[in-house]
Amino acid sequence: MRIDILPLCDQHYRTMEFSIAPHNFNYSIEYFRCTDKFCHRCFSESLGYVTPIKDAPPLVSANQRRCEKHGRPMFISSVDRQRNVVRFACPEEGCREEA
């Protein structure tokens, strides 16, 4: 898991922080978590953006973007609020694919 990437929350574009799951986050140990304390959005390298629900399988949104080269879930790397442009990047090391 790379920890040098800086994903933004896909709900309101806040920065996310690297986090290690407590027990019972049953599908990913390491992930990024939105820094808004009322937002439970997470980004997991294997799943993409998810909102964990205790004791339930993860629900990945249908419009989760994937890298065309690697098939990996992409994260939001930057947002241009003035032009309303959201940029996605691939978590694969060295991949320059953007969407």
CB of 42 to Zn ion, least distance (A): 9
On whether the CB atoms of residues 31 and 98 are closer than 8 A, the answer is no
The minimum distance between CB 92 and Zn ion, in angstroms, equals 4
DSSP code for 39: -
**C-beta closer to Zn ion: residue 3 or 23:** 3
Residue 39 vs 99, nearer CB to Zn ion: 39
In 3D space, the residue among 39, 40, 19 whose CA is nearest the CA of residue 29 turns out to be 19
- Shortest CB 69 distance to Zn ion, Å: 4
Which CB atom, from 26 or from 40, has the smaller least distance to Zn ion?
Answer: 40
For the chain, strand residue ranges (E) read 16-20, 30-34, 42-44, 48-50, 75-80, 85-89
Where do contacts with Zn ion occur on this chain (CB under 5 A)?
9, 11, 34, 36, 39, 41, 67, 69-70, 90, 92, 95, 97
